[in-house]
Each structure stands twice: as C-alpha cells, then as structure tokens.
C-alpha cells in the first residue's frame, strides 16, 4: 500500500492553488464549449456534425496511449502553459466556430493536465485534501463570479482579464513549483480501483456540470424563487472545500459526518428530481458541501492504492466518458424533439439526474476512510480559511451589487407592449450574449414584454437566468412561466405594471413542448390580461394548439392582449413550409384584432416580416388585442436597435385600454 511522502506544508498549499486555478479555467472553458456546440446545432434546428466536437472530452485517453509513461514533473509545466494560453484566448470575441474550437481545446487541455497532476500530487501526504479543497474552492469561485455577473459568465468577457492575468501568473508559478515525481510512474494498481475512481469522478463532474454549479437552474427546475439558491450553494462549496482540507476531527467522527453529508446529497438528488420541496435551498447547501467532501474520499482512496499515471489516465478517461454521456443524456431529455429516438428521452430528465447522483455516491461511499489519515497542517487550515473568506466575500459583493431596478408603472393610459422571441439567449450569429437582448429591450422600452424561447436556465445556455437578468436590470415584475422540468424552451411575461396573478398552461405537443403564460396586470383602468404564447413548428401541433389557445381566451373575461410567436404566416403558408396551409392566423384574427392590421398595414406587408432577423422573409410574430384595447401604432423593431440579438425581430405596439 502506497503511503504519501511527507511534503513541506507549503507544497500542499501549492497543490491546492494549482487545483483551484486549473479547475476554474477548466470549468469556464467547459461551459463555453458546451454552449458553443449547442449553439452550432441550434442554428440548424437539430443535430449536425459539429456535435462530434464533444469527443474532445475524452482527451485523457492520450495518457493510456503513451503519455502516461512520461514523468509528471516533465508533463505538468508545459500542459499548464497550454491550459493558461487557451484560457486567455477565450478573452477574444471569436466567431462561433473558433470560439468552440478554442474552448474545446482549453477543456481538453484541462482534462489532460489533471491526470499527471493528480497522479503526482496524490503521492504527497495530504495531497488528496489539497486537491479536493482546491477543486471545491474553484467551484465556489466560479459561482461567486457568476453571482457578480447576475448569472451571466464574467469569464466570457474582456473584463475577466482583471482576474485571469494574476491567476495565470500564480498558476504557472505553483505548477512549476509543486514537487511532482521526476521519474515515470509505471507501476500498475488494480484496474478495478481505477474504474471505481473514474465512475466517482465522472459522477462528481456531471453533478457539478448539470446541477450544482447552476443554482438558478435549481430554482427554475422546481419553479421556486432563485434568491436563496445562489448563496446556499456558494456557502456549501466553500464549507465543503474547507472541510476537505481541514478535516472533521478523529477518523471515527469524520466517517460518521461524511456518511451524514453523503446521505444529505442523496436526499437532495431525490428531492430535486422527483419532488421539489421548499427545503431544497437548504439541502442544496448540504449537497454542495457533501460533493467536495465525497471527492476527498475518492481521491484518498486513490492515494492509498498508489495509482500510476496510466492508472489515473484510465480513471480520467472513464470520468470524462461518464461526464460526456451524462451531459448528452441530460441535454437530450430537454431537446428530445430534435434528437434521435425522442421517446427515449422525453420525460426522463429526473432519471438522468438520479443516475448522475448514483454514479458519484456509490464510489464515494465505498471509498472508505478519509485520505491518508495525515493531520492537516496549521498552514493548510489557515490558507483554506483565507480562500473561503475570499470567495464568500466575492459572492456577497455580487449579491450586494446585483442590479435590481424597481419597476415603475407608466403614468398614462397608453401602454407599450412587445413580443420578442429571444432564441434562448443566442444571437443570429450563434453567440450567447444576453446583454444584446437587454439593449434591444432597453431601447424599445416596452411596459409589457412577452418572451418566447426565454429558456429556463438550462445547461445549454450556460445556466444564464435570462428572464431574471432582464427583470432585475431593466425594472420589471416577472411571470417566469413553466418550470424547466416541464421541458419547454421558456415563455414569460415581464411587466412594469404589477402582476396580480399568473399561471401557465401546457399545449398539446407531439414535437417539443409548447405553452402559454397568462398574467393578470393591475392598472388604473382595471385588470389587463396578457397571454404570451409560442406555437409549435409542426402544422398538426399548431392546429391543435390554436384551438386550445382560443378556448383558453374564451374563458378570460375583460381586456386581453395576446402576444407571441405563432410559427405561422398570415396566408397560412410561410416560404419554407412544406405542409399544406394552416388556419392559425385566420382563426386568431377572426377572434381578436391584429395590431399590425389595426395600425393600417397589410397583413402580408414585408415591413412586418420578423424572421430571420438579419434578412426577414416571413411574419410569424404577432400582437392581437380584444375589444376594449385600441391600437395607436405598431412596428417591427429594427435599426437603430440591434437586429442580431436574436434570430427574430420583436414587434412593438402602443395600445390604450378603455
């Protein structure tokens, strides 16, 4: 049985710093890579050849093909330089294809770096705690930065150079300084140990990537307020990272607490996947802490077995494969209508979440006692406490500075209402940039805004809470719409008028799930009913859905405004349609007034075209109003507003409610 060598306390601190910075770079690159690959497929409304880029996640296999025979001390420094270089390249606003290439290479380089780094660092006494602590603090730091960015990723912006530059210098310094083995690590341990470690590490990476790193997702998945989730998960990661380094006391007591924490993680996974109770923010805190503590147990097991670099290469290859399969499965459950075998994926997101948790919990529970049993040094405890204080302070600053513009109700009887399909946050160029959408909304200044494809804070859009971002930064009350578990692409209503009540209804959908959101607004002139809707791409779906929308409208008394993307043209046939003409527009315009027509335009006028945004050729976005709502004017929002913020142009109308 291998026993860790006795390093200087500073060496283990260096191990933790290297793990922290490398993992922060890796997490930021992975998020950019996954959203970029998804964007390339969104641009073609379905899977295309670009999806094979995700195979870069299997990069650790190079260590099984020969690289594992090179001494860690020779490998780690040059790979660290490559990782830092690729991460810095992501500061440049590349076109989408290059953005995917460089983020993919950065992600692959991180995974390649981890193998010799872990194999060598775990030979140091206390190395498992140092590495696990560093990774936990990296997850906390990444979350703190995104809290500072109001759920957006500051790492994707140029100002992130303010922290990337000094972190890069520190990273390269410690990567060269960590005392790693200078001879090849060729001894082989039991293959089963590497397989078990790989499954556990893969479960950990998948759990972080699909859920724990995105507290806004946890909130929207269950339809809860996002407020408490960010601080809760941040505190959990920081606490878990400190415990991984400082320990929980004598081995027997530590083992009991470890078991309690991992049990809490199991409860969290079941609650998230199947129930969604109000205690989820608390269990998320415990789950985040448990994930890092469980990681230390896994790495401690690897320390005791004395794994070689090739063993670690096998473990990380398995971990990367688990991560890849988990990400693809989770994305497919949310985009089932556009991937092979949709019946296999539809409705099975909870199953994927539970399997991810099992992949981590099984090996973590089987890993045995803490690390090598080496007591942490006082320097290690102090350094962990300092890093915890820094990331928690950064998160607190982010919470304090999060924009929160109070909604101001319009002072006249004229309302500006707008509908905008925001393409899940992706622009016409495929780049994820919600600030461009915010700029369009700010310039148009609607009092009521209906959003389609508002997403619901999913992995595929980088975990960005687009609706919350617009609401907080521009000053709107918000009706979020269906929670993520309903598997829609998001429909929401934002209003400067107070929202008295809101609800959603799922529409019959053979393709991807469509929905409507009904918000009742309070005005000086009585209640106003705003219904936002997004109909399906298939004619058969739209025929059923428009009947359901009309039946719903019949049950609503009073002034009604219907806004949405109908995926249907006034004539019944759009240029790219291959189906027979539909009656969607005809049926709605018979029941309600088309704001565009009421403003004096022909329903087929090309000035009313809204899609695609850069060269519009069809009118599929509409505003309809009932009796008692007068149209003063209506327009398609174009220049000087940006036309590349989404693949649709918004439609804006001024109305007077009597």
For the beta carbon of residue 404, count every other beta carbon within 10 angstroms.
10
pLDDT in tens, 48-58: 888 899 999 99
Q: Identify the residue whose tokens are 């699909």.
A: 210
Residue 4 has pLDDT above 60, yes or no: no
CA distances to 63, 185, 236 from 196, in Å: 18, 20, 25
The b/e string for 314-343 (b: 16+ C-beta within 10 A; e otherwise) is bbbbbbbbbbbbbbbbbbbbbbbbbbeebe
Q: Is the pLDDT of residue 374 over 60?
A: no
CB–CB of 231/399 below 8 Å?
A: yes
CATH of region 9-401: 1.20.1250
Percent of the chain with pLDDT over 90: 74
Q: What is the pLDDT of residues 302-321, one digit of tens each?
A: 887 778 888 999 999 999 99
- Whether residue 24 contacts residue 138, with contact meaning beta carbons closer than 8 Å, is answered with yes
- Contacts of 78 by beta carbon, 8 Å cutoff, 6+ apart: none
Answer whether 521's CB lies under 8 Å from 499's CB. Answer: yes
Determine the pLDDT at residue 9: 65
Report the distance separating Cα 625 and Cα 535, nearest Å: 18
Bridge partners of 531, per DSSP, are 518, 562
Cα separation, 214 vs 372, in Å, equals: 32
pLDDT at position 372? 46
Between vectors from CA 405 to CA 285 and to CA 224, what angle results, nearest 5°?
35
The answer to whether 557 and 545 have CB atoms below 8 angstroms apart is no
pLDDT digits (tens, 9 = 90+) for 625-654: 999 999 999 999 999 899 999 999 999 999
CB 432 within 8 A of CB 425: yes
Residue 588, pLDDT above cutoff 90: yes
Which letter does DSSP use for residue 639 in this model?
T
Q: Which two tokens stand for residue 386?
A: 């300092």
More confident residue, 525 or 528: 528
* Residue carrying the six token digits 């459950």: 333
* Average pLDDT of span 507-533: 94
Cβ contact 552:518 at 8 Å: yes
What tokens were used for 377?
A: 């040094």
Buried b (16+ CB within 10 A) or exposed e, 260-294: ebbebbbbbbebbbeeeeeebbebbbbbbbbbbbb
pTM confidence score: 0.93
pLDDT in tens, 188-236: 667 888 999 999 999 999 999 999 999 999 999 999 988 899 999 999 9
For residue 119, is pLDDT > 70?
yes
- The owner of tokens 């439609």 is 651
Contacts of residue 263, defined as CB under 8 A and 6 or more positions apart, other chains included, come to: none
Evaluate if residue 8 carries a pLDDT over 80. no
Sign of CA dihedral 264, 209, 425, 562: negative
Both tokens of 165, joined, read 């530059």
Structure token pair of residue 264: 């809490």
Residues 6+ apart with CB under 8 A from 412: none
Please report which confidence band the pLDDT of residue 605 belongs to, taking 50, 70 and 90 as the band edges. Answer: very high
Q: Do 9-401 and 415-657 agree at the fold level?
A: no
Q: Is the pLDDT of residue 371 over 60?
A: no
Residue 610 has pLDDT above 90, yes or no: yes
Q: Where are the domains of the chain?
A: 9-401, 415-657
8 A C-beta contact, residue 336 and residue 512: yes
Nearest to 298 by CA among 208, 380, 369: 369
Instruction: Look at residue 578 in the predicted model and tell me its pLDDT.
Output: 78
Backbone angles phi, psi at 195, to 5 degrees: -65, -45
Residue 581 burial by Cβ neighbours in a 10 Å radius (0-12, 13-18, 19+): middle
Distance CA 620, CA 588 (A): 13
pLDDT digits (tens, 9 = 90+) for 536-546: 999 999 999 99
CA distance 548 to 562: 13
Which of 476, 204, 240, 256 has the alpha carbon at shortest distance from 369?
A: 256
The domain defined by 415-657 carries CATH number 3.10.150.10: no
pLDDT confidence tier of residue 6, bands split at 50, 70 and 90: low
Contact criterion met (CB below 8 Å) for 4 and 429: no
**SS3 (DSSP) at 499:** strand
Report the share of the chain in percent with pLDDT over 70: 96
The residue assigned the tokens 């209508």 is 337
Residue 255 has pLDDT above 90, yes or no: no
- The percent of the chain in helix, strand and coil, each rounded to the nearest 5, is 55, 15, 30
Q: Helices (DSSP H) in 228-341: which residue ranges?
A: 229-246, 251-270, 280-305, 309-334
| Token pair recorded at residue 622 | 């509409």
The confidence score (pLDDT) of residue 302 equals: 83
> What confidence score (pLDDT) does residue 3 get?
46
Q: Could you give the CA distance from residue 531 to residue 503 in angstroms, rounded to a whole number? A: 10
Is the pLDDT at 2 greater than 50, yes or no?
no
**Residues paired with residue 450 on neighbouring β-strands, in sequence order:** 419, 493
């Amino acid at each position: 049985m291998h026993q860790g060598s006795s390093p200087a306390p500073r060496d283990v601190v260096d191990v933790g710093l290297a793990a922290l910075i490398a993992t922060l770079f890796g997490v930021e690159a992975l998020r950019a890579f996954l959203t970029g690959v998804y964007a390339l497929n969104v641009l073609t409304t379905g899977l295309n050849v670009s999806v094979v880029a995700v195979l870069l996640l299997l990069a650790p296999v190079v260590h099984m093909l020969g690289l594992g025979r090179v001494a860690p001390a020779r490998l780690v420094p040059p790979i660290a330089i490559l990782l830092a270089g690729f991460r810095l390249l992501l500061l440049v606003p590349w076109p989408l294809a290059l953005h995917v290439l460089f983020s993919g290479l950065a992600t692959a380089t991180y995974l390649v770096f981890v193998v010799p780094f872990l194999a060598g660092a775990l030979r140091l006494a206390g190395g498992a705690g140092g590495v696990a602590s560093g990774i936990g603090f990296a997850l906390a730091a990444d979350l703190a930065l995104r809290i500072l960015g109001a759920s957006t990723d500051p790492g994707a912006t140029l100002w992130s150079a303010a922290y990337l530059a000094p972190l890069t210098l520190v990273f390269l310094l410690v990567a060269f300084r960590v005392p790693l083995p200078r001879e090849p690590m060729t001894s082989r341990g039991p293959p089963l140990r590497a397989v078990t470690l790989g499954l556990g590490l893969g479960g950990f990476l998948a759990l972080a990537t699909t859920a724990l790193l995105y507290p806004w997702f946890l909130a929207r998945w269950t339809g809860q307020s996002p407020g408490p989730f960010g601080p809760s998960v941040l505190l959990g990661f920081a606490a878990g990272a400190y415990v991984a380094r400082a320990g929980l006391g004598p081995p027997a007591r530590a083992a009991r607490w470890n078991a309690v924490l991992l049990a809490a993680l199991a409860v969290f996974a079941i609650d998230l996947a199947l129930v969604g109770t109000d205690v989820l923010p608390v269990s998320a805190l415990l789950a985040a802490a448990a994930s890092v503590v469980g990681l230390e147990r896994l790495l401690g097991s690897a320390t005791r077995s004395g794994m070689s670099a090739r063993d670690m290469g096998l473990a990380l290859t398995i971990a990367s494969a688990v991560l890849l399969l988990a990400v693809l499965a989770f994305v497919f459950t949310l985009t089932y209508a556009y991937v092979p075998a949709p019946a296999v994926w539809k409705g099975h997101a909870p199953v994927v979440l539970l399997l991810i948790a099992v992949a981590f919990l099984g090996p973590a529970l089987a890993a045995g006692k803490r690390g090598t049993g080496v007591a942490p040094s006082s320097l290690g405890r102090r350094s962990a406490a300092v890093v915890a204080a820094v990331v928690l302070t950064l998160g607190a600053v982010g919470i304090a500075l999060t924009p929160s513009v109070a909604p101001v109700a319009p002072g006249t009887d004229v309302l500006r209402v707008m509908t905008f399909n925001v393409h899940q946050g992706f622009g016409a160029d495929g780049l994820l940039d919600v600030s461009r959408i915010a700029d369009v909304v700010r310039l148009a200044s609607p009092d009521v805004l209906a959003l389609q494809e508002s997403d619901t804070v999913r992995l595929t859009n980088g975990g960005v809470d687009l609706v919350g971002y617009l609401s907080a930064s521009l000053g709107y009350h918000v009706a979020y719409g269906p929670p993520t578990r309903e598997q829609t692409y998001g429909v929401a209503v934002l209003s400067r008028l107070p929202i008295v009540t809101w609800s959603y209804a799922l529409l019959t959908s053979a393709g991807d799930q469509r929905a409507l959101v009904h918000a009742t607004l309070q005005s000086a002139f009585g209640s106003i009913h705003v219904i936002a809707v997004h109909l399906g791409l298939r004619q058969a779906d739209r025929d059923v859905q428009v009947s359901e929308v009309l039946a719903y409208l019949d049950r609503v008394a009073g002034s009604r405004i219907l806004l949405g993307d109908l995926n249907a043209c006034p004539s019944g046939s759009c240029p790219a349609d291959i189906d027979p003409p539909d009656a969607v527009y005809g049926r709605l315009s018979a029941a309600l007034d088309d704001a565009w027509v009421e403003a004096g335009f022909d329903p087929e006028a090309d000035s009313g075209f809204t899609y695609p945004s850069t060269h519009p050729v069809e009118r599929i976005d509409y505003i309809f109003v009932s009796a008692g709502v007068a149209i003063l004017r209506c327009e398609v929002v174009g220049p000087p507003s940006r036309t590349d913020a989404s693949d649709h142009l918004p439609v804006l109308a001024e109305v007077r409610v009597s």
